[in-house]
Structure 1
């Protein structure tokens, strides 16, 4: 039967060939997007894996064999809003461990940099970046140590005494391969910001699968009615149910196999494009976008099997009886129980608001299952909603076209809803994704805005916060800022003012501000006047006690008057300097030249500007924005293609009934209105439910996971959604002229 089935697949003339090509193309597009989605999730895992070495010293790993110790101190530097991961290393002997991506450790006076950082060094004046790194460039950090081709990473060699003196330096005997469970803001890479993106990408990936699968399923049902008639004729001449099952499965499987193979080609073509989408704020390496054997095998085997199963279900009436086609009995109406999965999915998401899972895997499982249940609920409950809406309209209309369309929908709501199922899911996925990501951007983007005056300031503060004591001295303090360093800073074009915050050993001026105790530092009032965004002194005061966090957190409070303290400016000048605060005209060259001066002269400090605090968060926001764009640009077009295929297939399957109606006197315009109403009503009714459900699911996710209230997605979302619905109605309208061609008298003949 299989060779015979293969001949039938390609011997049906142009119609069979067109059906085969259409199904193949649909499956190829769906498989390509499905594989690209899996690859993006895998790439994020690989990115996280390559960041683990950055947490050396925090993961507590030990060597399996005796080796020399490696002194290690890691920090984040910045340049023009971009993060630079910097590691200072010094080996006690030749067997000290070497980080990945390096063939050996840089010697004192040498450093190795990533390709992206080397390009930045070439394109940037040395006074703004290269002068921060002592010595000469001696090599390249390989891809094995880089999360992205855009990563700015540098490993600086030093002597043991130099590195050991840095705050936070530690001696290690192995390079980290894990992230400690207690990893906090002091850790780097996956332990900090990988889980949230992985969670959202996993949920969105699961959501994207549904429109793709609906599209594939719709395509495999093309010309189901004409195929039913052909198979019924075969049954009447003696074909068994098993033989008909084989023929129908082979016809769909051939196209599905060809489409699956082509889909792997589509995936290969999409890999460079997907790699350039900065989901995490940076691009992926193309090699990171790979598939596991289980994923590749699952898609390669699962899609053809699913297509065969869809064909088997679509033609099940012929398998039962050869008279099934001619009888065409009205199917049983759907029941209200179909709404149970939809309600259950929303209830699960609501439950997670009350009982939030503590682990990332628990969160992924909970949210993914909740969203999948909601989408299943929309698909399962869609026919019942279509039937209810059709009956309601039928009771309130007397127009012939409306009555015919609504009666047909009420009699067979499954077929009516099937045409718009892909679009309904696309609207749900788009609404939920844009609602979640738009709210995150609104909440965090506003918080990262910053005061315009503060964004022109730069603070140079200790690498270790707090009051840690090393060898009797407070960690990170500077005995004094030399006149030479001060002169270098003032010589920078764009420099406006500078204030030195001195250690306050006697806790002079210690007060509370609201519910928070102040941690005061001492500042000369003549210098405080140069940085008015921080506040001002009382009239006649010479020295003020200023909250240290007012500097460190880069907060603006120009109207606050800080209390005077009974100490002379000369005595303050003798106290160690806790941090340096400088202001500029806000230009990048001025900010970066000051940062370089401070970094070069005070290696135990780190110089930051307001935008640096937000750089990593902004990268996340950028990645989420890109994710929303991907959802918008994939789901709606896929759903539109599925709608077009469904409407055309429906017209083809009903050519004979429509031809009979035309022969009995029904005008063509009446039939066009019937077809339009049959497609438009389920689209509008269930689309409204999908949009509302998408907003509700997004609101529950945001409240449970992040404690945010859903924000309005903005004009772009409403514009795109309206465009998608209008375009879908346009697709329906564009198919109506086909009625004249396919409902001529020749279509009404028997056979």
Structure 2
């Protein structure tokens, strides 16, 4: 036969070889299609970043004066509505040529607002009527889609003629070289996580390519008997594998297009992408189209390297060569050598070394696991019959299950390391649980403080007020630094600090900072100075964690009598209060009460553990990586399921013989569970140790201490065990069918 005829024969065997061939083709298509879709999403990362950068560049405000351009007075404020952040961009033109922000064709007039599409939807869906009063104007149009940074951004352009203390700008759009908004450490961890989540995909492709290996060998033996050469058999094998790869490429492309169409509704720690962002670069698409079929063919050929296909049958090597250890340690040692030296994560070399070292450590898992599994099962003796059957099977073929489990363990190790790194950073960024839980804090600038606080006090159910008036103090320090000063009554001071026995006339501060009789100067929001002489010896200022004193960063706290004679009318005011009505929208009522003072009043609600934006970002990143790890765990479970079903099909005669000799079906099922579970349990131990080692070596990214997220470790390990149990349970019908006496028949 010619080469073309060999390929055509392989194609016919793949699609017309009976029910078994169709089942294998469907499984291969589904498995490779899922892997291709994931690879196409990963290949879109460059386009996502490029498009996001372009939108960020377009919205960047430029303060450099431009001749002939009337400047625009620009002020940015935010408001929250039921946990969603709304950005209000206040715009006041100074002439007809003032710059226009992206997404609109004109500037809003005073009393007008342009809304982003998602904000317009939110306003339309708000049946409570609490959001509309928060908008300082009448909606007159929409900001063009795909001009906001993220699809779900809530943005409003607000026209005004009374903007005070705004920023003077002359245009929108950044010059090339504008830095990305994502912090380098977060980006580095997410890139590492993307690599770790993609690694098992290639292992899965290789596993799927081995489907039907025994049946394929029997067909090739028949062809060998008919006169085919070994070279022809390799071409036929390649053609069979290429059929599944081609079908998988088509299925993967279809799945990717489906995901692409709905990606706008998906959001990752407040970052989202538009459908056009999810466009893989053509070089990477070509690479995927070439690599996936090549990997399937190479895997199918590699599966036959210990198999001799002769005209009278198939012979497999019963004693596989002993695995060597020395080369398997090389990636681990190289990874430690790259991570251990402190090259500095701020430098490009340091980031590359850290990522490369972590990748090499992860690659050490699939290299070490087969060797370690081989050594472990060779030393196990005894146990119940089901356990002994599993050990005997693993001794004869430990490579196949270890390859599947290796991909899962790479994900487990990476997830453990990244979860620990992110948990440590989130722990540093987050504030402590304290008495501020359930409280609302309102901060008002001095010019509107009295009006805003009066409006807050008028909200139904507002109670338990704690108020402080704050300014900056020049304490005549050597470093010329100003210190934060506040005036509050004794009830507020005792609630916000650990102080007891407060009396009007007391002053609280570090005695080394100020002393009795010292002359200092206050500076209020209007930059006016007020002289003050410290009237009493300061008592220690003992702050409560995350209390009002700590949140304001206060250094000096005085009672009203101690600050007598100081004009506090222009000082900013911070008020903490609680709601007593049980209304879940109480905080929205408070925000609406101060809406007329937008830009000069901020409202924050604390419902337990307070967290900064950075802490929320780290927490969101942890959740995303944990979700990705669980998804790839599911992918590994599919690999185990495919492998288990294929093993049952290939060993149906052996299972029938076991059943005929009196071995119960439940023993056979338990042996399959041990056969999948032993490599997995061993892999979990290796993955946990590797993940902790990577976290220990990479902890200098953010902090000095080592944080291990044992909850995530336990969740991932439990999910892996659950996958094994589910896979084993799913094979029960196939085992019952295979353990029938008629499977012993032969012709």
Structure 1 residues 326-341: aligned runs within 5 Å: 326=315, 328=317, 330-341=319-330
Structure 1 residues 511-660: aligned runs within 5 Å: 519-523=483-487, 525=489, 529=491, 533-535=495-497, 541=504, 555-556=548-549, 562-563=557-558, 569=564, 571-572=565-566, 574-575=567-568, 577-586=570-579, 591-595=587-591, 598=594, 600-601=596-597, 603=599, 606-608=602-604, 614=611, 616-617=613-614, 619-621=616-618, 623-654=620-651
Which is helix-richer, 1 or 2? 1
Aligned length: 701
TM-score, length-normalised on structure 2? 0.79
CA distance in 1, matches of 2:629, 2:473: 58
Matching residue of 2:205? 216
Partner secondary structure for residue 118 of structure 1: helix
CA distance in 2, matches of 1:502, 1:685: 60
Residue pair 1:537, 1:544 contacting (<8 A) in 2 also: no
For residue 261 of structure 1, report the CA deviation from its aligned partner. 0.4
Structure 1 residues 373-452: aligned runs within 5 Å: 373-393=360-380, 396-397=381-382, 406=391, 409-410=394-395, 412-418=397-403, 420-432=405-417, 434-437=419-422, 444-445=429-430, 447=431, 449=433, 451-452=435-436
Contiguous gaps of at least 5 residues in structure 2 = 511-521, 523-540
Residue pair 1:72, 1:172 contacting (<8 A) in 2 also: no
Residue pair 1:679, 1:732 contacting (<8 A) in 2 also: no
CA distance in 2, matches of 1:681, 1:743: 31
Residue pair 1:662, 1:743 contacting (<8 A) in 2 also: no
Q: Which moved more, 1:103-112 or 1:489-498?
A: 489-498
CA distance in 1, matches of 2:605, 2:198: 42
Once the two structures are superposed, residues 125-144 of structure 1 have per-residue CA deviations (whole angstroms, 9 ceiling, x without a partner) of 99966556544333222233
1:501 aligns with 2:462: no
Structure 1 residues 177-188: aligned runs within 5 Å: 180-181=178-179
Q: Which moved more, 1:261-270 or 1:729-738?
A: 729-738
1:356 alignment partner, one of 324, 336, 344: 344
Residues 195 and 524 (structure 1), Cα distance of their counterparts in 2 relative to 1, 3 Å cut: closer
Residue pair 2:76, 2:599 contacting (<8 A) in 1 also: no
CA distance in 2, matches of 1:666, 1:156: 82
CA distance in 2, matches of 1:677, 1:563: 71
RMSD: 4.5
Matching residue of 1:691? 688
TM-score, length-normalised on structure 1? 0.79
CA distance in 2, matches of 1:524, 1:399: 75
Residues 337 and 83 (structure 1), Cα distance of their counterparts in 2 relative to 1, 3 Å cut: same
Residue pair 2:69, 2:170 contacting (<8 A) in 1 also: no
Partner secondary structure for residue 112 of structure 1: strand
Residue pair 1:36, 1:274 contacting (<8 A) in 2 also: no
Residue pair 1:278, 1:626 contacting (<8 A) in 2 also: no
Matching residue of 1:471? none
Once the two structures are superposed, residues 146-168 of structure 1 have per-residue CA deviations (whole angstroms, 9 ceiling, x without a partner) of 23333121222334xx44x415x
1:83 aligns with 2:85: yes
For residue 644 of structure 1, report the CA deviation from its aligned partner. 1.9
Q: Which moved more, 1:645-654 or 1:516-525?
A: 516-525
Matching residue of 1:143? 145
CA distance in 2, matches of 1:602, 1:18: 64
Matching residue of 1:488? 455
1:682 aligns with 2:679: yes
CA distance in 1, matches of 2:20, 2:437: 69
CA distance in 2, matches of 1:504, 1:581: 14
Structure 1 residues 720-739: aligned runs within 5 Å: 720-730=719-729, 736-739=735-738
Partner secondary structure for residue 442 of structure 2: strand
2:168 alignment partner, one of 144, 154, 170: 170
Matching residue of 1:460? 444
Residues 130 and 230 (structure 1), Cα distance of their counterparts in 2 relative to 1, 3 Å cut: closer
Residues 166 and 124 (structure 1), Cα distance of their counterparts in 2 relative to 1, 3 Å cut: farther
Partner secondary structure for residue 634 of structure 1: helix
CA distance in 1, matches of 2:297, 2:247: 13
CA distance in 1, matches of 2:389, 2:146: 66
Contiguous gaps of at least 5 residues in structure 1 = 182-189, 462-476
Matching residue of 2:537? none
1:314 aligns with 2:303: yes
For residue 258 of structure 1, report the CA deviation from its aligned partner. 0.6
For residue 19 of structure 1, report the CA deviation from its aligned partner. 1.4
Residue pair 2:436, 2:606 contacting (<8 A) in 1 also: no
1:269 aligns with 2:254: no
Partner secondary structure for residue 158 of structure 2: strand
Once the two structures are superposed, residues 715-736 of structure 1 have per-residue CA deviations (whole angstroms, 9 ceiling, x without a partner) of 6445434423433554566654
Matching residue of 2:156? 154
Once the two structures are superposed, residues 56-97 of structure 1 have per-residue CA deviations (whole angstroms, 9 ceiling, x without a partner) of 14xx6786x964433333344444543332323233444433
